[in-house]
Chain A
Amino acid sequence: MAAQSLSAVDAAVPASTAGVTSARRNRRGSRAERLAPLVLLAPAILIIVGLRLWPLVLGVNFSFTGDGDRNGVAVGLDNYLTLLGDPLFRTALRNVGLLVLLLPVAVAIPGLLATFIYLKVPGHRLYRGVYFFPAVLSPVIVGAIFNLLLAFDGPLNALLGGLGLGPVDWLGDPDVAIFAVVGVHVWATFGMALVVFLAGFATLDSSLLDAAKVDGASLTQTIWHVIIPSLSRTIQFVFVTTMIGMLTSMFGLVYVMTSGGPEGSTYLPEYYVWIQQGQLNQPALASAASTVLFLIMLVVGLAQVAVLRRAGKEE
């Protein structure tokens, strides 16, 4: 890196402009210069510390105090025990488990599509732009549109009816709704991962692929032995960002599509936090749920990095 440059110039400038007055001016100047990093960084640091790090500490502290009559009183682990006993929170955790199980699929789909685009499948120029588009739409818009599409008398059931199937109550059946919501999330965000994969492919050494072709490797062999090892960094990045996306950016979808229903079956931790804080006025309990969500994210992130790092070493 080249952060050494400015201090080198600092030393050079006074030498060339000798003289008492200019020396004094320079000393004053250099004092202002020495403070420059502080001046430039202070607003950012203030905001980040005051509105992100400090609230994190506050929130964890808060989760050990009570709500309502016991506001501000230390209650130990009571909130966490309440969470464990709350069927809605248990459903939220179960749904997180489901997301973890579906994660490989949510990564493999864009990975495979990116591979085909990279290998110049007919129409490859068009697909990137089309697939990426839903990823820039708000979950609210996506959710609102799918409310119409997945309605009991909506287009999807009409299409299935034409094939002699269904109808399925996509958003009204407790066993189906969470899959509908997650499916819409994957539909809306696979373009994001696809673009990241394509950026990874751009760094791929194409002579490796040529060598695989000369050796007569099949498509599966090429993916398994050439593409996956070369892109391990990208794959790791996509795994982590996709999981974080599942845990933190589905609120809009749940809020618009199901409001956590039917029968609480589509609750996710972030939705639970919002309900407890915004609707039921139980901020301490909400803080405990937030802390659990944060721990889940830490564990998931660290576990995935560890697993992928080990897989990378074995290659």
Chain B
Amino acid sequence: MPKLPRWFVAIPMAVLALATIYPLVFTTNVAMKTRREYVLDRFSPADSLSWANIVKAWTSVGMSRYFLNSVIVVACSVALLLLLGSMAGFALARLRFRGSSALFLGILAALFIPFQVIMVPLTRIMADTGLVDTYPGLVLAYVAQFLPFTIFLLTSYYSTVPAEIVDAARIDGNTVYGVYWRIMLPIGAPALLSVGVLNALFCWNDVLISLLMMPSAEHRTLMVGVTSLRGQYSDDIPTFASGVLIAAVPVLVVYLFLQRQIADGVTAGSTKG
């Protein structure tokens, strides 16, 4: 690019970058303030790094309970998604059987059914089977929601594993299941990490499915917990901001370490297929 436009563009882009970061900085600063400090001046840097609001949000407000609920549900959902997704992905990419391509297309079609379209009947199915307001119910709802995407990504990944590797393992006397367990799972580790992180984010960030499947207060996940804080603490913004921060920090940490894997998952399917 010519010299002048470079800076002409760079300055707005830098401003945009600041605008992207500022909201979280502002929230962190508010979380560190006392209520009085916030009412007097919401923009000034907090007088001291005070963890009092964070501790309050974690203990007496109940964020720790919501946090634990989210961790349980996300961990179980991701584990199940990776297990079922890799089994299906391996079979679709590496086993020859009648109807495999039709099946793959069917799964792709399921990818385009948004939750909003099926939420009424799904809620009814869950209620009829007694799964509403239970951990297995929410886990099952998440697995159903994100499994097509997981299978799609893992199938395309396993399709890139050279056939010779599978052949060699078979000649060494492995059964199909042995090939899956001893060869495909370890080889697929990078894809499993990428898909796993993405699914963890989807489940962690969800609010709609959780609202419908976990109505009771003690089973609230973290995001639903944050929405419930809004009404309760509308006159105590620093505590509210602390709750928001507690929900955001795990995502920030994951992002700092696994940004590349997240981006890989997001962009898969955009350049080929």
Could you tell me which A residues sit within 8 Å of B by CB distance?
1-9, 12-13, 29, 32-33, 36-38, 40-41, 43-45, 47-48, 50-56, 58-59, 62, 113, 116, 119-123, 126-127, 129-134, 136-142, 144-149, 154-155, 158, 187, 191-192, 195-196, 199-200, 202-203, 219, 233-234, 237-238, 244, 247-248, 251-252, 255-256, 269-270, 273-274, 277-278, 283, 286-287, 290-291, 293-294, 297, 301
- Among the listed B96, B106, B226, which residue makes an inter-chain contact with A4, where contact means beta carbons less than 8 Å apart? B96
Assess whether B208 is interfacial by the CB under 8 Å rule. yes
Q: Check A121/B110 contact, CB under 8 A, given A3-B93, A144-B226, A195-B267.
A: no
User: Quick one: which of B214-273 are within 8 Å of A by CB?
Assistant: 223, 226-227, 230, 237, 240-241, 244, 247-248, 251-252, 254-255, 259, 262-263, 266-267, 269-271
B255 touches A133 (CB 8 A): yes
- In the complex, given contacts A40-B95, A113-B16, A237-B270, what are 16 additional A-B residue pairs having Cβ atoms less than 8 angstroms apart? A3-B95, A3-B100, A13-B170, A40-B90, A41-B103, A47-B84, A51-B141, A56-B121, A116-B13, A140-B223, A144-B226, A148-B26, A196-B267, A199-B271, A277-B120, A290-B117
Q: Check A145/B230 contact, CB under 8 A, given A62-B120, A252-B207, A290-B117.
A: no
Nearest 9 CB-CB pairings of A with B: A2-B163, A138-B205, A51-B144, A199-B267, A58-B121, A55-B121, A55-B118, A5-B163, A40-B91
Q: Check A199/B23 contact, CB under 8 A, given A132-B259, A290-B116.
A: no
Assess whether B48 is interfacial by the CB under 8 Å rule. no
User: Quick one: which of B145-194 are within 8 Å of A by CB?
Assistant: 145, 147-148, 151, 159, 162-164, 166-167, 170-171, 175-177, 179-180
- Among the listed B24, B85, B271, which residue makes an inter-chain contact with A145, where contact means beta carbons less than 8 Å apart? B24
Q: Check A155/B43 contact, CB under 8 A, given A45-B103, A127-B13, A196-B267.
A: yes
A47 touches B93 (CB 8 A): no
Cα–Cα distance between A55 and B120 once the two chains are bound (Å): 8
Chain A residue numbers with a CB within 8 Å of B141 are 51
B26 touches A149 (CB 8 A): yes
Q: Which residue of chain B has the shortest Cβ distance to A248 in the bound complex? A: B114
Chain B residue numbers with a CB within 8 Å of A233 are 270-271
Chain A residue numbers with a CB within 8 Å of B226 are 140-141, 144, 256
Interface range on chain B (Cβ under 8 Å from partner): 35 or more
User: Quick one: which of B1-47 are within 8 Å of A by CB?
Assistant: 1-2, 5-7, 9-10, 13-14, 16-17, 19-21, 23-24, 26-27, 30, 42-43
Binary contact track B67-101/A, C-beta < 8 Å → 1, others 0: 00000000000000000110110111111110010
A203 touches B120 (CB 8 A): no
7 A-B residue contacts at CB 8 Å? Answer: A5-B164, A141-B251, A145-B26, A158-B43, A195-B266, A283-B124, A290-B117
Cα–Cα distance between A52 and B118 once the two chains are bound (Å): 7
Assess whether B105 is interfacial by the CB under 8 Å rule. no
User: Quick one: which of B95-133 are within 8 Å of A by CB?
Assistant: 95-97, 100, 103, 106-107, 110, 112-125
Chain B residue numbers with a CB within 8 Å of A154 are 42
Q: Check A122/B6 contact, CB under 8 A, given A37-B91, A48-B110, A155-B26.
A: yes
- Among the listed A5, A38, A199, A244, which residue makes an inter-chain contact with B167, where contact means beta carbons less than 8 Å apart? A5
A52 touches B148 (CB 8 A): yes
Q: Check A47/B147 contact, CB under 8 A, given A36-B95, A59-B121.
A: yes
Cα–Cα distance between A126 and B10 once the two chains are bound (Å): 12
A41 touches B117 (CB 8 A): no
A47 touches B140 (CB 8 A): yes
Cα–Cα distance between A238 and B167 once the two chains are bound (Å): 38
Q: Which residue of chain B has the shortest Cβ distance to A38 in the bound complex? A: B97
Give the distance to chain B from A268, nearest Cβ to Cβ, in Å. 9
Assess whether B201 is interfacial by the CB under 8 Å rule. yes
Assess whether B211 is interfacial by the CB under 8 Å rule. yes
B230 touches A147 (CB 8 A): yes
